[in-house]
Amino acid sequence: MKNSPNSQHRNTVFPTILFLLSLSVATNQSTAAAAKPGISKPSCRIEVDDAHISSSIRKHLKISVLKVNARSICNVRQDHVTLTLIIYKIGYLSDHLMHRVETNPLIPSSSGLIVKVQDAKVACKNSQLSSYYGMAYAKAFIQGKWQYAGKTRSANIRSLRCGT
């Protein structure tokens, strides 16, 4: 069967359109990447570290302990901060709350530019591989108003040899 003039036109136009679309997508992706050389962080934020086995506790006490640290960071003074940190273990049907700790808003260490939670830990019972993450949220008095920071999760879920 002989190709009609229209089918020959479609055969040459279609690859050209595909090439232009792919060029356009590639150009837009590289332009977007060039426009964001680094990720800027909000002036007030919560940061939650990945779960890890505490090397200092293992060294000094000879036991394995899972830890997660969190910080409420602001470029202006924050007062009466209640920073809540929860450690979760990935479960089959749902995640399991392993530990919950929060700062006391009435003590001096719960005010300032940075407020930390560094005592959230869970003792490992065995070396079974399990996956964990941290979740934190906060309430603080900043510049005369109560401010609330929503839930922030650790960047990575970590599989660690820490059975609970």
* Distance between CA atoms of residues 68 and 86, nearest Å: 9
Closest by CA to 89, choosing from 159, 17, 1, 15, is 159
The CATH number of whichever domain residue 84 belongs to comes to 2.60.40
pLDDT, residue 164, reads 83
Q: Residue 10 forms beta bridges with which residues?
A: none
118 occurs within a structural domain: yes
8 occurs within a structural domain: no
Mean per-residue pLDDT of the chain? 81
Query: How much of the chain exceeds pLDDT 90, in percent?
Result: 67
Closest by CA to 132, choosing from 102, 162, 152, is 162
1 occurs within a structural domain: no
Full domain range(s) for residue 51: 42-157
What's the pTM? Answer: 0.73
> Is a pLDDT exceeding 80 seen at residue 141?
yes
Amino acid at 62: K
pLDDT tens for each residue of 21-65: 333 333 333 333 333 456 667 689 999 999 999 999 888 998 999
Amino acid at 129: L
Q: Which of helix, strand or coil describes residue 34? A: helix
Q: How many CB atoms lie within 10 A of CB 119?
A: 11
Which sign, positive or negative, has the C-alpha torsion 26, 32, 36, 39? negative
